[in-house]
Structure 1
Amino acid sequence: MKAILLKGGRVIDPASGIDEVCDVILRHGEIEAVEALLSNAPDDANVIDVAGCWVMPGLIDPHVHLRDPGFPEKETIASGLRAAAAGGFSAVAAMANTSPVNDTREITAYMLERAKGVRAARLVPVSAVTRGLRGVEPVDFAAMIEAGARMFSDDGIPIDDPVILSRALEEISRLGFATSLHEEDRALSRDAALNAGEVSKRLGVSGVPVSAEAERVRRDLALAIGSGAAVHIAHASTAETFDLIRAARHHGAHVSCEVAPHHFALDETAALTWGPNAKMNPPLRSRADVEAVHEAIRDGTADMIASDHAPHDPKSKQMDSLAGYFGPGREPPRLDHELANIFEHAANGIVGLETSVGLALDLVHRSLIQPARFVAMMSLNPATLLRLEAGTLAPGAAADVTVIDPNLDWVVEPGKFLSKSRNTPFAGRRLRGKAILTLVGGEIVYDGRKGAVR
């Protein structure tokens, strides 16, 4: 493999304390050097001019649904990893809610084997906490780690039994790994479709109160404080959740949390335009909660940004029944009982791998965070959570690198996604900043200058 010289970019590597214009040399799948601008390139190097761009450790998404095995109409490992590379991600953590569930060594092995044949982002398996995501019988944690799992989560389904969860947290933490929790009190959220508020009332659909998230967070953080276990709060979305996390850290809890771009870029009113393509769990919240997400990002309560990439086909989103009622320029409908029921049964989630960077860079452009914090939230901190030797450009590290043009203007066009699904409320949105190169192990797996995966 020929060496690569990334020439003249702004190198941002919080782990090494670097934020300056440098050259980066990649050789034999590793970072060879980050140096002051070279007058002469190595004779064997392919020189890529990245002046005006940011060069950073490969981005890592700690929360992605690849739907494989089980749902090829939504996504496959191949399409999902290519979409990830196009979004600037060198690695993604694939959640366990596949069919069959990733609760055995065999399913983990299947996922990793499928990923081997794809020249794109790396796949990091996330094991279920309980068999079949049923919240009753724990998986064999040690066996799943040996098979390649790097985190545990029943994401999409909360673990209701506190005894089961407490024992799992302690054992997983003893083995040196973290547990990611989907925080939802199903007694409060059952059959709800949107955030409880004016929008859910306007559309005539059921609403889920913010307490459905916050009350479960309260319980689980108490368990974390008591056990000392490493707990990660997935897709935190309410002001009260962030207050609880701050308080738990003050009392010694080992807790991290992620926020999703849709929770800091949209509020509940997006459902008036996009209908089921703005339906997710947890739901889009009030403007006050969006501001709370911004503050959590600003003050460091939110450790990382995760897409919660959740691809769905139009049938799962009930678009055959509901598409005609929603869209830009349409008057929001008042759904009758039958249509409201259909809306409530539409699948939750949106695609996010190919829009996350552009949406997150808006935080930088608005001065909510600095570029180094952007890199920490999207590379270094996810690497730490997933126990990966990644998130740095230090010599000897794997040559996983993302190059971003922070000022590239572009418009979200779902028809051009490499994901198999198109369920997004960001269609037509103009964004500023995009990944133009993604390298994994020193190999270019996405070249946005040509607009294609190699």
Structure 2
Amino acid sequence: MIDPASAIDGDFDVLVRDGEIAAVERAGTRTNLPNATVVDVSGYWIVPGLIDPHVHLRDPGFPQKETIQTGLHAAAAGGFTTVAAMANTSPVNDSRGTTAYMIEREKEVHSARLVPVSAVTYGLRGIELVDFEAMIEAGSRLFSDDGIPIDDAMVLSRALDEAKRLGYAVALHEEDCALSCNGALNAGEVSKRLGVSGYSDSAESQRVRRDLAIAIGSGAAVHVCHVSTAESLDLIRAARRHGAQVTCEVTPHHFTLDESAAMIWGTNAKMNPPLRSHGDVENLLAAIRDGTIDMIASDHAPHDPDSKRMPQLGAYFAPGHPVPQLDHESAKEFAHAANGVVGLETSLGLALQLVHRSMIEPTRLIEMMSVNPAALLRMEAGTLAVGAIADVTVIDPNLEWTVAPEKFLSKSRNTPFAGMRLKGRAVLTIVAGEIVYDARKA
């Protein structure tokens, strides 16, 4: 059992009753429980339910990409008991009605929990703030216009003041669009070789610089989504020294892959922010080790093949193919392909590589994938203490498996990890005492 919030890391038995943790005792202490269902997880890790603070479930609005049903089943298969669903749906989650729709769909699924993320501004237009109090009352626990930066500094300042007043955080998509220039890949040798537009590091870091200055002035809690550059990390460290309440997340694709993945996987390695240089990846790994990065988030972004321009470009890219030189029309198609990769079913396996490579301890992994996301979402979760809700993930850290997109429970298959061998996977996902995913039956 690994429960950082309770300072537990050892062999324990966990008793669940009526959806709560009823007892945590040294392994073998209780041997006579005639009315209990006994699940033998010897050799596995029992951890507080994993929480993904950043996913896109595309529902309402884009059922060809994902639905709340398929997304929550994918989350449970990945070991997540809770996911925070971003607001860039259609309609945007900027009203009580859309939030209520999401929560009602969740109740029908009986799988992982869904925490709605409210938009910061109506329609994600960056102009008029949503009714923060109404959205919290409806069930939202985080505010973000993710996918679109908030360009107006005054609008952001007012949003931070409102979030601070109510005790919640604002999650920021950090991009200066005047500098990113609709770039398709990181500005560098790979973008040049493929002949597609580049997206500079400074597009992220300059906006991080501005927004953290505003955050320091307001004293509000801010969260930097999908950090990808060394300079952004330095700015976050500096802001903390100046008193900023800032947390940040990194995605498994950003700490596992660099920009060269686009030469193999094409648009399935296209996301915003883009995969960066090898040096940036090394800096992200260092920031995971030293504690600068608080959370691992999948940024699960499902897309259908047409959105990824696979009919036009799929034949150009595959493992073992020579690097293509895209013609002008193909480069335009690449630029117009949707950003993002699916991640709910690969996130834990990729994150566990950090443990197997002795870069972090298991306790640190659980802090990043359960304890800290729970705090960001203002949830009473991230622990297996007696009395806590029985959200539990059971992990086999030594199970070796191959990423097979055709077996995903997600509706979409857009991943740059197809065929990768990973070590470690969730085998049981338990929400409020109910087993919602059991790999033994999958």
Distance 1:264 1:28 in 2: 39
- Report the equivalent of 2:254: 263
- Report the equivalent of 2:6: 16
- Report the equivalent of 1:5: none
* TM-score, reference length from structure 2: 0.99
After the TM superposition, which residues 37-436 of structure 1 pair with which residues of structure 2 at under 5 Å, given as runs? 37=27, 38-436=29-427
Q: Which 10-residue stretch deviates more, 39-48 or 299-308?
A: 39-48
Runs of 4+ with >3 A deviation: none
AA matched with 1:301: T
Distance 1:112 1:103 in 2: 14
AA matched with 1:27: R
- Partners of 1:97 and 1:133 within 8 A in 2: yes
The SS at the match of 1:422 is: coil
- Partners of 1:238 and 1:293 within 8 A in 2: yes
Distance 1:354 1:130 in 2: 31
- Partners of 1:271 and 1:277 within 8 A in 2: yes
Distance 1:196 1:304 in 2: 26
The SS at the match of 2:52 is: strand
AA matched with 2:14: V
- Partners of 1:130 and 1:138 within 8 A in 2: yes
- Candidates 23, 45, 64, aligned match of 1:33: 23
Distance 2:114 2:71 in 1: 10
AA matched with 2:307: S
Deviation at 1:450, TM superposition (A): 1.6
Deviation at 1:58, TM superposition (A): 0.2
Aligned length: 441
Distance 2:157 2:195 in 1: 38
- Partners of 1:279 and 1:349 within 8 A in 2: yes
Deviation at 1:119, TM superposition (A): 1.7
Deviation at 1:402, TM superposition (A): 0.1
Distance 2:33 2:167 in 1: 41
Distance 2:144 2:32 in 1: 46
Deviation at 1:43, TM superposition (A): 1.2
CA deviations 1:184-208 (Å, max 9, x no partner) are 0000112210000010001000000
The SS at the match of 1:450 is: coil
Name structure 1 gaps, 5 residues minimum.
Answer: 1-10
AA matched with 1:102: N
The SS at the match of 2:160 is: helix
- Partners of 1:41 and 1:47 within 8 A in 2: no
Distance 1:160 1:273 in 2: 34
CA deviations 1:110-168 (Å, max 9, x no partner) are 00000001121000000000000000010000000000000000000000000000110
- Partners of 1:60 and 1:378 within 8 A in 2: yes
Identity of aligned residues (%): 72
The SS at the match of 1:48 is: coil
Deviation at 1:336, TM superposition (A): 1.0
Distance 1:42 1:92 in 2: 33
What value does the CA root-mean-square deviation take over the aligned residues? 0.5
Distance 2:194 2:168 in 1: 42
AA matched with 1:195: N
Distance 1:95 1:441 in 2: 23
Distance 2:160 2:287 in 1: 25
Distance 1:327 1:41, change over 3 A: farther
CA deviations 1:374-421 (Å, max 9, x no partner) are 000000000000000100000111000000000000000000000000
